[in-house]
Structures are given as C-alpha cells and as structure tokens.
Chains A and B, each alone.
Chain A
Amino acid sequence: MRITVTVNGQPYTRDVEPRLLLVHFLRDELDLTGTHWGCDTSNCGVCTVQLDGVPVKSCTVLAVMADGHEVTTVEGLERDGELDAVQKGFVECHGLQCGFCTPGMLLTARWLLDRNPDPDEGQIREAISGQLCRCTGYENIVRSIRWAAEAGR
C-alpha cells in the first residue's frame, strides 16, 4: 500500500505492507534510528513518537495508520541547528546515562511543556509514567524537564 507520512516536516512516500509497524517504518524505511525499539509490547515507551503532536507508542501503531498524518521524532526536535529546551535540559542535568529511553522521554517532555509550561514534579512523573528508564532512577530526568520549563519562562 502506498502511504505518505510527513515526518519532522518532510513528506515521505513509500510502498509498505499494512502490517509494518510505525517504529520499523521510521527506523528501517526512513533510517531515522533515533526512535528506539525495546519491549515491543507497548510497555517500555522507548518507541514513543508524536503523531499529530500527541505522543504514542510507535510499536503499537501501524505505519498505514500514520498515512496522511504528521510524525515528530527526536530528529525533529532541534530547530535551525539549535537543540530544543528539553534536549538542553537533559544535557545540563545529566538526564541520561545509556540514552536508550531518552528519545521517547524527550518527545513526551516536549508535549507536556506545550500543554503545561510549568509542571511540578508530580505532573512530570505522571507524564513519563508509561516510559521506563533503567539507568537514571528518574531523578535527573525530572530535573532535566524542570530545567527546560524554567528555561522556557
């Protein structure tokens, strides 16, 4: 089936099987390997991307379901060579160790701040509660997102 998905502002047209998952479309068809792939069971959240501005777990969305829609991946967060505030926050506050969960965390963080520019710790923890990090203990991720919130003010 022929689909056109706009990824990070650029339309891509490809012929795909309906059973192709969005995560594999992004990684294997478009070589956008910033979107990670972990549990494959919609639990870990490392595959999180934004679909029409809303974070979803791309291992549980078919690529054909994104036909005609807009996807944002971690590669699309920077603007004109400048990192997004959430990316800067993760750099400043040591928000990652191995980095496996980071792309998904960043896309959820961006979504959270777009809706609530001044979230408290509880709201941040709630927003990322569908995403696992096996390294940081979450403390620095929360701090990084708070950093971005304060930088945005």
Chain B
Amino acid sequence: MQVPATFEYERADSVTHALELLERYGPEARVVAGGHSLIPMMKLRLAQPEALIDINGLAAELGRIAVEGGELAIGALVRHAELLESATATDLFPIFRDAERVIADPIVRNRGTVGGSLCQGDPSEDLSAVFAALRATAVIQGPGGTRTVPVRLFHEGPYETAVGPGELLIQLRVPVAPGTGSAYEKVERRVGDWPVAAAGAVLRVEDGVIAQAGIGLTAVGAAHFCAPEAEEHLTGRPPGAEAFAEAGRIAAEHCAPSADQRGPADYKRHLAAELTRRALATAAGRI
C-alpha cells in the first residue's frame, strides 16, 4: 500500500489566501491542483512536502477560459477535460483538441490541470510542447505582484520551472492572430500513455508565405520544448511538403532524445522529424 508521509493540509479560498499560506509554510510547502502528478510522487516518497496548499477551490479565479485583449487566456486550474471541451479554445487552436484527446485518459483528464501539467515540468509533458508551439506567456503571481514569463523560458530543466517558492502559476496567455493553423501529433505505446515522442505545429501565413512558425516537441530532449532552427527555416517560405519535410529534418537534428522503456534514441529522433512534418502539414490545411 502506497501512503504519503504526513503533511499539513490547508485549503485556499482565494489566490491571495493561497499566497499567504505559501508564505506562512515556507519553502517546504507545495501547491496541490489535480494532484495527479504530485500525489503519486508523494506516495512513492519522491516528494515529501511538509504542507499542501489545496487550490481546487479557486475555480472562479483560476478556472476560466476566455478571449481577452487579443489573447486566449487559460486559467491554471482549467482541467484537461475542460480544455478539450472548450469550443473557445479548440476552435481558435485545434492543437488543443488534438493534444488533449491523447493526454492520459478521460478519468485522469477530469482531474489533472493545465497549470499542474506545466508546473510539473516533466520532460515528456504534452501541454508544454503545445504552449511552446503557440508562443504562450505564463502569468505568475507572488507576494510582490504579477509577472509574465514567455513559456519558452518557463522550463529551466527537468522538473524545474520559473515558478519560485511562494509563487503561483495563474494563467497561460496565447496570442490570437488571423491566418493561423495548428495541430499536434503524438505516438504513444498504448492509449492514455505518455508520448514516445510528440510534435505540435502552429503556422501563420500572410500573402502566401509563412510569417511565423511555431514548433513544439516533447519527450525528445528539445531545449525548452521547441525547435527554433526549424522555425527559422520555414519563415518567409511558402507552406509546402518540401519545406515541412526539411523543417522536420532540422528539428530532429537539434533534439537530444535518450533511450528508455518507450524506445531507442534513433527511433525517437525519427519520430521527431516525421511528427513535425505531419503536424506542419495538418496545421497548414487548417488555416
């Protein structure tokens, strides 16, 4: 039987209250959202927080999805299932539908949150690649106020993020621009599993050429979950099969997959190229 070590439990009733509790309990306190990464880690004693600050009651502040000032805002406490079912989010960016349909299983998706996924900072996390492809901005709140961090600078290493002790991830903001298409392609060993590899693509086309490309990669050791060299190759070119294949090749060249129970490194590198190519082609077809 797996049982976490003892800890103090506090329920926050507002963001301000959560920040006060984090300050009161100090660096050994952890926020719990869906708990679907943290509780398993606590059961295995890979995490032993002295206090848990439960933010599940903050849906009014952190559970919204809305378009505001030219950006799609997604609250940190939005559950995977809610993002999947949000027409606002998935009509603007079908990449969310593609990805959320294959993140874990429907029961886990009922509980796991967008913010928890990003803050967990797992190198195989799907939404990190999605938000990197979308060039989203993370909104972080601490005792001193609110700051923003580009998602491409959010992950500082495996399981390390820009969210400091005493801070909360509040929201992800995605710029909305006309002429944009997006898609996500993932290969997993079985339904509901973490990716062997996955790629997300976002394309904005103006006057027949690619004005901006976003490529997100996960589980293949891509720095900051993105592929800037491949994006650069695409910028200014007309969208097309040749350009997409070359972008895939470049993306694969710059990632650093490692062999594990999900597959050998060369297979993952092959997937990085092929899934990037497919995601770009699907994204282009959705503009």
Contact = CB atoms under 8 A, between A and B. Distances in A.
Interface string A10-50: 00000001110100000000000000000011100100100
Nearest to B42: A19
B36 interface: yes
Interface stretch (B5-13, B15-23, B147-155, B277-285): B5-13
Report the interface size class on chain A.
Answer: 20 to 34
Nearest to A125: B191
B158 interface: no
A103 interface: no
Interface string A49-71: 00000111100111011010000
A101 to B, nearest CB: 13
Interface stretch (A75-83, A85-93, A126-134): A126-134
B5 to A, nearest CB: 7
A53 to B, nearest CB: 10
B56 interface: yes
Nearest to B8: A18
B1 A40 contact: yes
Given A42-B108, A108-B107, A60 B192 contact: no
A129 B111 contact: no
A129 B6 contact: no
B110 A54 contact: yes
Interface string B34-46: 0110011011000
Nearest 6 CB-CB pairings of A with B: A130-B105, A18-B9, A130-B107, A19-B4, A40-B2, A129-B191
Interface of A: 1, 17-19, 21, 40-42, 45, 48, 54-57, 60-62, 64-65, 67, 108, 126-127, 129-131
10 contacts: A40-B43, A41-B43, A45-B105, A54-B110, A62-B9, A62-B32, A64-B11, A108-B106, A129-B106, A130-B108
